[in-house]
Structure 1
Amino acid sequence: MAKKSLASLCFFLILLFATQEMMVQTEAKTCEVLSDKYKGPCFAGCDNTCKKQEHLISGRCRDDFRCWCTKNC
């Protein structure tokens, strides 16, 4: 009886560890969209506008002096 219990326990532990290894975390895809709330040429404050007003991940000024926000796609 003890051998069966030990074998069952070992099988359960192997199964548990095997399923943990199969779970792979992936990073969410992100996209950039033009800000709806930021007005004027972009020099500063874009990141704050995207985060606080538009509730997105982040924001940055690009070469075209417009505010682009990063969001999950």
Structure 2
Amino acid sequence: MSEQTKDVPLNYEQARAELASVVERLEAGGTSLEESLALWERGEELAVICQRWLDGARARIDATRQDPTG
């Protein structure tokens, strides 16, 4: 990931796509231990981002269900 895109928030689809790419690279093997660890750490970050998006979506759905005018 470049420094330019490092601080740009990812939407759910971007985070999920990058996470899938990280998993694919880890499963393919052939990377050094250091690179594998960096990929794993990035994957953990992306999983957290995805979970936050999903939690937010769930909260919005729950709020809509509780609003009788919604």
Which entry has the higher C-alpha Rg, 1 or 2? 1
Q: Which has the higher contact order (CA 8 A, sep 6+)?
A: 2
Q: Which has the higher strand share?
A: 1
TM-score normalised per structure 2: 0.36
